[in-house]
Each structure stands twice: as structure tokens, then as C-alpha cells.
Amino acid sequence: MIQTTFSSNQRLFGTDGIRGTVNKDKVTALMAVNLAMAAGEYFYGKAGTKRSRVLIGKDTRLSGYMLEPALVAGFTSVGLDSITTGPLPTPAIAHLTRVLRCDLGVMISASHNPYQDNGLKLFGADGFKLNDKVENEIQSRMISGPTLAKSENLGKARRMEDAIGRYSEFVKQILPKHEDLTSLKVVLDCSNGASYKVGPEVLFELGADSVVIGAEPNGKNINLDCGAMYPGKMAKITKLESADLGIALDGDADRVIFSDENGEIINGDQIIAVLAREMQNNNELIDNQVVGTLMSNLGLENYLNNLNIKFHRTNVGDRYILDKMIKSNSKLGGEPSGHILLYDFAKTGDGLLTAIKILSLLKKSGLKASEFLRPFNPIPQSLKNLKNIDKSVLSNKNIISLVEKQQKELGKEGRILLRPSGTEDLIRIMVECTDLNLINATIETISKAIIKENDDKKS
């Protein structure tokens, strides 16, 4: 049975928009039409232009062909003109929504998920992702139903032909006019996703010698054994090609993972450390502050502390990172998965922009990537997922007491994090410590206790 309506007590939006398996979960053409009508009604006139309009982008999933026209139908039915871009990175939609003075923007993407999934990310006229309050209001309007435009006030739809060019010019501005990327050899994995055109084009225009992979989307191969989620192929080719750096973007190109010349992976934490060091040296960090997440490695925090840089932690997700950056007036934030936010240039994670910045710094350094892009040694970390667990067990007094006791045993050189999944019925246990045996023992102790409390609750 396909779900077509939503109750007031069921939240449609997750931590990063709406996401699910197409035509099986909540992601259907009917949902897209209803969402567009509700969001269009809410945002109508927000940008203050004579004609209200929405920008709609997508990645390369087969289901994009279904969801894009459904959104257009919904938006035009409540009087908004619709501008579609075709495949383009999520940060491009955030940027162009603002500069084109659209009332809102929508990105059709399930990010790093397989092609069977899809989702919708919404941006306000300012290019920022929506907060919970606005999302809840949109969902309420989906339930109550919109006021449709009169026939003479229906919106129009058109394709934006120069979207790639507009975004590539924006991305390239992170480099001063006199700089380029000549003399660098790069492997670029586009994940068969939204960056498959603009990524290679930008690197070519900046003069890099690029070996491009993952740039042949067929609707079903996005994120399939490639890209930021599966960077192994990129790393291997980087070494085989004797390239200076490997770059792996995810399906909607808002995150990036790197490889050094030896084929060794470099994650987001190391990139944040590099950027923080360089920005501090150039007096670009206000009050020496950087924002990470609960999953950021303790080694990063220790490294930044040694530089007298205060490290703020937030929940996982670039929306939460950005919120903390705004409140703390921070210029840099990110997470180990490769979401990097450079606030002076973009208001959301931008994998391509980050990659260009890192390539520029690498070229200036005159060092190899293995030497330049690993400023700290990460603290050993282990993660275990416990499936089919009632998430309320985390508020159990016995579990809370046990975790506090285990944390005392680890001391300041260790860290424990218990985190419920936002989309699955599981709990994640993460432990960091310099002692590998202690990590394993701690995870085992906590796992057994959670499973026992969960079983007792069922009986």
C-alpha cells in the first residue's frame, strides 16, 4: 500500500529534508505535488519580486524524471513560476536560489543513498536550509490543503540553460584571479551524480590535469561503488596515475573525501584541521572558532586546542553545523563525512568548492598530499550499530549510569557517544581511545547492557 497522505502526528521531514525509497515509502509523485503546493503557498512572495518563482534542481536518479514534473505541477498550480536546472549539485541550487531572487529552491536528491531512494531538500530565499518550524508549517499545509491560483494566475515553467556556467563561475571565485591549478594532476570521482558535468568543467577551466571517473550516469548507478561513500576506486586510481590528489564527491556533491598520492584516504576531519590552520594564519577565523559534530574525531579537537582554537560540537548534519556557526560567528565547520562549510563563500556544504580550495593550498605548499593534508593523528575510533533496539533505552537510568562509569575509566583521552539513528531502528555506539583493547571492551560492555535492557522491556 503506497502512502499518499500524512497525519499531523507523523513528521514528514527528517534531518536533511525528505528522504525515502521511491514509490514504497513517503517519496511519491503525489507527495511531491502536495509538498510543492504547500511550500509554494507558504513561500509565495517571500523574495519580494514581481513574479514569485522557485528553482528546482536534481541529481541523476531515474526517479528525478518523475519528481521534477510533479513539483512543477504543484508550484505552478499555486501561482509560482518554476525554473528547472537539470542535474546540478545541491550547493548550486542553494546559491542560485539566492542570486536569482527566487522565493525558494528545491533539490531533488537522496544525497549518498542508492538510486532507489530519493528526496527533497528545500532552501529559503536566502539560500539557507529550512528550520524545523518552517518545515512543520509546510507539512501542516499539506494536511489542510492549499488555496489554488485562479486560472489566469497560474505559474509558468522554463528550463535554465546556463545554470552550470553560473555555478562554475561562483565556485571558481574561491581562488584569486591570478591563481590556477596548473601543474596539478587530479583524479575526480563524480559518483555518477549531480557533478558529472560541472566538476570536470571547473577543473579543466582552472588548468588541472584531470582523470575523471564516475561521470557516466544512467539513472541507476549514482553512488554505486563510487564517490565519497566508496572512495576506494578513486584512491586506487590516484596511486596508479601518480596523481597529486584524488577527489571523491557524493551523489549531490555537497560532501567530498580525498586521497593522497599513495592512495590513502583523507577524511573531513583532516581537511577541517588544514583549513583551520591556514585560516588562522591568515587571520580569517573570528575569535578562533571552528564547528564540528559529535562524530568529529577527538584527535581533531586536541589538535585545534593546541592551536588555541575553540571547537564547538553539534548534532550530525550540515544544517546543525551552520546554525552553530551563525550563532558563534564561526567561519569554518564540517564533519568527517566530508561536509565542509566555508561560511564566507557558501551557506551549505560544497564538495567542489572545498576541493578547489584544498588543491590551491596544496599547490602553494609545495608538499605532497600525504605530508600536507594530515596535520594530526586521529584517535582510534570504533563504531557498532545495534539493530532492532527501542531508542528509548538510551534514557534508561542503568544505561546512563553505565556510560558515565565507562567514560570515567576512559578519562580525558577517550570519548563515548551513543546516538539513535534518525532514519532506522538502531542505535550507534562510538568509542574513541588510544587503547584499542579498551575500546573493544567498552563497546562490548555497553552493547550487552543495551541489549539486555531492550529485551527486559519487551518481556
Report pLDDT digits (tens) over 151-189.
Answer: 999 999 999 999 999 999 999 999 998 999 999 999 999
Same domain assignment for residues 368 and 305: yes
What residues are paired with 424 via a beta bridge? none
129 pLDDT band, cuts 50/70/90, is very high
Report pLDDT digits (tens) over 207-256.
Answer: 999 999 999 999 999 999 999 999 999 999 999 999 999 999 999 999 99
Average pLDDT over residues 47-58: 94
How far apart CA 170 and CA 95 sit, in angstroms, is: 8
6 pLDDT band, cuts 50/70/90, is low
111 tagged catalytic: yes
Q: Residue 194 has what DSSP assignment?
A: T
Average pLDDT over residues 442-456: 91
Domain count for the chain, please give it. 4
Report pLDDT digits (tens) over 58-85.
Answer: 999 999 999 999 999 999 999 999 999 9
Same domain assignment for residues 27 and 122: yes
Same domain assignment for residues 414 and 448: yes
Same domain assignment for residues 131 and 156: yes
Instruction: Check residue 15 and give its pLDDT.
Output: 78
Best CA proximity match to 394, nearest among 421, 431, 374, 354: 421
Amino acid letter, residue 221: N
Helices 351-365 and 90-99, packing angle to 10 deg? 100
Amino acid letter, residue 13: F
Catalytic residue among 52, 82, 111, 191: 111
Report pLDDT digits (tens) over 281-309.
Answer: 999 998 999 999 999 999 999 999 999 99
Residue 2 lies in a domain: no
94 pLDDT band, cuts 50/70/90, is very high
What residues are paired with 211 via a beta bridge? 187
Amino acid letter, residue 410: L
CATH for 278: 3.40.120.10
Q: Are strands 381-387 and 426-432 parallel, antiparallel or unpaired?
A: antiparallel
Instruction: Check residue 424 and give its pLDDT.
Output: 65
Q: By three-state DSSP, how is residue 115 classified?
A: coil
Report pLDDT digits (tens) over 316-356.
Answer: 888 899 999 999 999 999 999 999 999 999 989 999 999 99
- Domain housing 219: 183-262
Instruction: Check residue 1 and give its pLDDT.
Output: 32
Q: Model's pTM, two decimal places?
A: 0.91
Same domain assignment for residues 36 and 156: yes
412 pLDDT band, cuts 50/70/90, is confident
The rounded mean pLDDT for the chain is 93
